[in-house]
Structure formats: C-alpha cells, structure tokens
Amino acid sequence: MRKHIVAGNWKMNNDLIQTETLISELKQQTKTSDAEVMIAPTFTNLWHAFESTRLDDIEVVAQNMHFAENGAYTGEVSAAMLKSIGIQTVILGHSERRAYFNETDEALSKKVSQAIAHDMRVIFCFGEELSDRKSGRQEDVVKTQLVNALCHLKADDYKHIVLAYEPVWAIGTGETATPDQAQEMHAFIRNLFRERYNDAVADNLSILYGGSVKPDNAKEIFSKPDVDGGLIGGASLKAEDFYAIVNAF
C-alpha cells in the first residue's frame, strides 16, 4: 500500500550553520503521524545533514542530479556521487528547475532512468502554470509532462517513483489549490497510471501535493483520498511548522 510522505524542499536556503540549527530543532519535534519525513538541503550540506540524522526518523534527499554517469559536466552532481554519501532519494523536475534551468521532459526522462539505474527513489515534480489552469488545460499539461518523462518505465520501476503535483501558481504565492482541486488532479493522475499500467501501479503510487502547504491548511488537503502527502517549501524552513504539517496526517 502507498505511503504517506511529507518532504521539505529547502531550495537554495540555509548555509551550514543554519542547516545544523534547523536539523537540531527538527530532532526536538515529536512525530505523531505515520508519514515518512524527508528534508532536502542544498548539495553542499547533504553529507552533514545525512550524518547528523543517521539515527533519526528523517531521510535526507537531494534536490536535483545529472543524467550522465560522470564526465565533463561542470557544476553537476551524479547519482553515484549522491549514493556514495548515503543519499537514496532525489527530487527531479521541480518547476523552478524547469523554469530557470531549462529542464526539459527529455532531460527529465533520462534523469529518472539514471536514478532508477542507481536504485534511487525519485520524487518527480510536475504541474501546470496559471495560464494553463485559466484556459482549462491543466489535465492535458500534466498528462504530457508525466507521459514524456515517465511512461518509458516498466511497471516494476514504479516502486522507485513518488509523484509531486505542484501547480506553479500555488508555489510560494500563498495561494493553495483547494483541497477539492488537489483531489481532482490527484485522482486524474492515479487514473492515468491505472490506464497506462495497472491497478497495482496506480494504487501503490504516493502522490504528494505541493504549493503553499501550511500548518493551517495541511489537514484538509491531506484528508483527501488521493493526496498521500506534501512537498513543502517555505513552511519546511521552520521546525515547528514543518512538524505541524507532518502531524496533520
């Protein structure tokens, strides 16, 4: 059965000292839910974060990686490098990477394959822009993103995949999709995988919602049957807020 997951995407925030401080505050929180907890610090702090959470119920994950095994890709980080410091999970396809770093579906499809080849778990992000939603094209856009990047995978590969639906218009804006909007899209996505693959793939796929999730709206969003967790930006930078969201399950 699919898992509940709450992951904090720290984005380009927190230097080493701030990372140490936030992790020690996170460790003081009490988890009362069954959700898996993940945090995604920036590359330079992954090793430190991994070492300092070794004994805790917190998984440290990466925000990105390159699709090549190694080679002349200045500034990039490979799956093998992440694995070598204990990182098992990587976020791929975040809308900020797509918008500011020109990540295409084609590149993402290669990244997903590379992560799976290294036995890593992927949190695959996707979501429509405001103009898509205003013109009623949100399902078409999401379907294209998913089919282009993921549908080369075999059914068995989906044990490595977690999906994160993040409507671009709800990220960092304070504007959240309503719980019904999230449920509607998540049900559409699950059905897509039911049609393309089978019931087992669809029913075991954790689909997270991301976009202005806060302590005061998490419970209602997480109460929806096809919402299996959250990918949290701003609110993951405060330990109490983050655990209020974790404990909203």
Answer for which of 46, 120, 233, 249 binds ligand 13P (CB under 6 A) is 233
Give the nearer residue to ligand 13P in terms of CB position, either 59 or 166. 166
Give the binding-site size for ligand 13P (rule: CB under 6 A): 14
Min separation Cβ 141 and ligand 13P, Å: 17
Tokens of 203: 């029913």
Catalytic residue among 94, 96, 103, 160: 94
Q: Which stretch binds ligand 13P (CB under 6 A): 19-27, 136-144, 166-174, 183-191?
A: 166-174
> Considering the rule CB under 6 A, would residue 231 count as an interface residue with ligand 13P?
yes
Answer for which of 150, 171, 205, 218 binds ligand 13P (CB under 6 A) is 171
Give the sheet arrangement for strand 5-9, strand by strand. Answer: 59-60, 36-40, 5-9, 229-232, 207-210, 161-165, 121-126, 89-92
94 classed as catalytic: yes
129 classed as catalytic: no
Answer for which of 39, 213, 221, 245 binds ligand 13P (CB under 6 A) is 213
- Binders of ligand 13P among 90-149, rule CB under 6 A? 94
Answer for which of 41, 93, 211, 229 binds ligand 13P (CB under 6 A) is 211
> Considering the rule CB under 6 A, would residue 14 count as an interface residue with ligand 13P?
no
> Considering the rule CB under 6 A, would residue 42 count as an interface residue with ligand 13P?
no
Q: Which residue is nearest to ligand 13P (CB)?
A: 233
Site residues, ligand 13P (CB under 6 A): 9, 94, 166, 171-172, 210-213, 231-235
Catalytic residue IDs = 94, 166
